[in-house]
């Protein structure tokens, strides 16, 4: 298996970001975005996705959290896309349902090269630890857009901390499943078109 890793940088008037991802990692995370709860969620992505993830972001948090969260999502999606290469041999489709106390999140993904994001549910509180709750949804839309994922997500619960954490864990587990190499496929692409 080739080295499935990538580093992406992004510099705008709003954020400066460096993001490194290794798909076949050891759950190692080094994350600093300036938003503690968001750092916790990105660390959960590495832990539950079995990825190595490094994110350094200097964003305009004096404005709000939008640009930081969105741009980190765009960078992570780009790194995932680069690390997957031509996507040959991957499982491609996966789904997971993950609970956290009273909350539950479901994520279904197709690593198709065709970006689409669908989200159902409402977060129970407006913010958690400096992260505006709806930005959790926007983060995964940004990842799906730049990684070329068809990603459907659904949440239900009573506590936004639990709802967001369940969402990030479910997405991480689903991405781990979908990006695994299926030995039966060898170098073939999982598509009747011959490419993704």
Query: Taking 50 as the threshold, does the pLDDT of residue 18 lie above it?
Result: yes
Ranges assigned E (strand) in 26-162: 29-32, 52-59, 93-100, 103-110, 116-120, 127-128, 131-132, 150-156
Domain of 25, CATH number, reads 3.30.230.40
CA distance 90 to 109: 13
What number of other Cβ atoms are within 10 A of residue 184's Cβ? 7
Do 65 and 131 contact (CB within 8 A), yes or no?
yes
Query: Taking 50 as the threshold, does the pLDDT of residue 1 lie above it?
Result: no
- Reported as type and span, the H/E element at residue 167 is helix 160-179
**Considering the domain boundaries, does residue 191 fall inside one?**
no
What's the domain range around 175? Answer: 5-179
Q: Supply the mean pLDDT for the chain.
A: 95
51 φ, ψ (degrees, to nearest 5)? -105, 160
For position 183, what pLDDT does the model report? 83
pLDDT digits (tens, 9 = 90+) for 43-89: 999 999 999 999 999 999 999 999 999 999 999 999 999 999 999 99
**Considering the domain boundaries, does residue 188 fall inside one?**
no
pLDDT digits (tens, 9 = 90+) for 21-39: 999 999 999 999 999 999 9
Ranges assigned E (strand) in 12-90: 15-22, 29-32, 52-59
Specify the number of domains making up the chain.
1
For position 85, what pLDDT does the model report? 94
CA distance 75 to 9: 7
**Considering the domain boundaries, does residue 42 fall inside one?**
yes
Global pTM value? 0.94
For position 191, what pLDDT does the model report? 65
pLDDT digits (tens, 9 = 90+) for 78-103: 999 999 999 999 999 999 999 999 99
**Considering the domain boundaries, does residue 122 fall inside one?**
yes
Rounded to a whole number, what is the largest CA-CA distance in the chain?
51
CA distance 147 to 150: 9
């Amino acid at each position: 298996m080739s080295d499935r890793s990538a580093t992406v940088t992004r510099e705008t008037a709003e954020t400066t970001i460096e993001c490194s991802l290794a798909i076949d990692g050891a759950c190692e995370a080094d994350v600093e975005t300036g938003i503690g709860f968001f750092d916790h969620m990105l660390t959960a992505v590495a832990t539950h996705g079995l990825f190595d993830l490094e994110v350094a972001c200097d964003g305009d948090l004096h404005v709000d959290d939008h640009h930081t969260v969105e741009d980190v999502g765009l960078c992570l999606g780009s790194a995932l896309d680069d690390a997957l290469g031509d996507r040959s041999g991957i499982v491609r489709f996966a789904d997971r349902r993950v609970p956290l106390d009273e909350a539950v999140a479901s994520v279904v993904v197709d690593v198709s090269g065709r970006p689409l994001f669908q989200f159902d549910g409402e977060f129970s509180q407006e913010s958690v630890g400096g992260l505006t709750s709806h930005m959790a949804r926007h983060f995964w839309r940004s990842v799906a857009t730049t990684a070329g994922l068809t990603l459907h997500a659904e949440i239900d619960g009573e506590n936004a901390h639990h709802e967001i954490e369940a969402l990030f864990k479910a997405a991480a587990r689903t991405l781990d499943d979908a990006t695994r190499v299926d030995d039966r496929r060898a170098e073939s692409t999982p598509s009747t078109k011959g490419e993704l």
